[in-house]
Structure 1
Amino acid sequence: MNGIPIVLRALHDGERDLEQQLLAAADRHRAEPEFRHVAKDVARWSHEHAERITRAAVSHDLRLPGPLDPPADGPLRTVRETLGRAVGRQPAPGLLLLRDLRDLHLAATENSLSWEMLAQVAQAAKDTRLLDLAADCHPQTLRQLRWTNTMIKTLSPQLLTSL
Structure 2
Amino acid sequence: MNGITLALRTLHHGERNVVHELMALSERHRADHEVHHVATDIAAWSREHLRRLAETAAHYGLDLAGPPGDSSDGLLASLRRKASDLTGSRPEPALLLLRDLRETHLAATHVSLHWEMLAQAAQASKDTRLLALASSCHPRTLRQMRWTNTMIKNLAPQALTSL
User: TM-score category by the smaller chain?
Assistant: 0.7 to 0.9
- The within-5 A match list for 1:9-88 is 9-71=9-71, 72=73
Specify the alignment match of 2:118 in structure 1. 118
Cα-to-partner distance string for 1:79-106 (whole Å, 9 max, x where unaligned): xx98xx9xxxx98111110000000010
Runs of 4 or more above 6 Å deviation: none
Q: Which amino acid aligns with 2:28?
A: R
What is the count of residue pairs matched by the alignment? 154
* C-alpha contact 1:101 1:152 (8 A) present in aligned 2: yes
Tell me how far apart the structure 2 counterparts of residues 162 and 125 of structure 1 sit (CA, whole Å). Answer: 52
Tell me how far apart the structure 1 counterparts of residues 50 and 29 of structure 2 sit (CA, whole Å). Answer: 24
Tell me how far apart the structure 2 counterparts of residues 34 and 103 of structure 1 sit (CA, whole Å). Answer: 18
Specify the alignment match of 2:158 in structure 1. 158
Q: Which amino acid aligns with 2:124?
A: A
Point out the more displaced range, 64-73 or 46-55.
64-73
Q: Which amino acid aligns with 2:50?
A: A
Q: Offset at 1:24?
A: 1.2
Instruction: Report the aligned-residue RMSD.
Output: 2.2
* C-alpha contact 1:47 1:67 (8 A) present in aligned 2: no
Q: Which amino acid aligns with 1:38?
A: V
Tell me how far apart the structure 2 counterparts of residues 68 and 22 of structure 1 sit (CA, whole Å). Answer: 13
Tell me how far apart the structure 1 counterparts of residues 69 and 113 of structure 2 sit (CA, whole Å). Answer: 26
Report % sequence identity: 58
Q: Structure 1 unaligned runs (5+)?
A: none
| Distance of aligned partners of 1:29 and 1:127 in 2 relative to their CA distance in 1, 3 Å threshold | same
* C-alpha contact 1:51 1:67 (8 A) present in aligned 2: no
- The within-5 A match list for 1:128-143 is 128-143=128-143
Q: Offset at 1:66?
A: 2.0
| Distance of aligned partners of 1:143 and 1:112 in 2 relative to their CA distance in 1, 3 Å threshold | same
Tell me how far apart the structure 1 counterparts of residues 91 and 110 of structure 2 sit (CA, whole Å). Answer: 27
Tell me how far apart the structure 2 counterparts of residues 158 and 39 of structure 1 sit (CA, whole Å). Answer: 21
Tell me how far apart the structure 2 counterparts of residues 129 and 141 of structure 1 sit (CA, whole Å). Answer: 19
| Distance of aligned partners of 1:74 and 1:14 in 2 relative to their CA distance in 1, 3 Å threshold | farther
1:31 match: secondary structure? coil
Tell me how far apart the structure 1 counterparts of residues 46 and 160 of structure 2 sit (CA, whole Å). Answer: 30
Q: What's the TM-score, normalizing by structure 1?
A: 0.87
Q: Which amino acid aligns with 1:159?
A: A
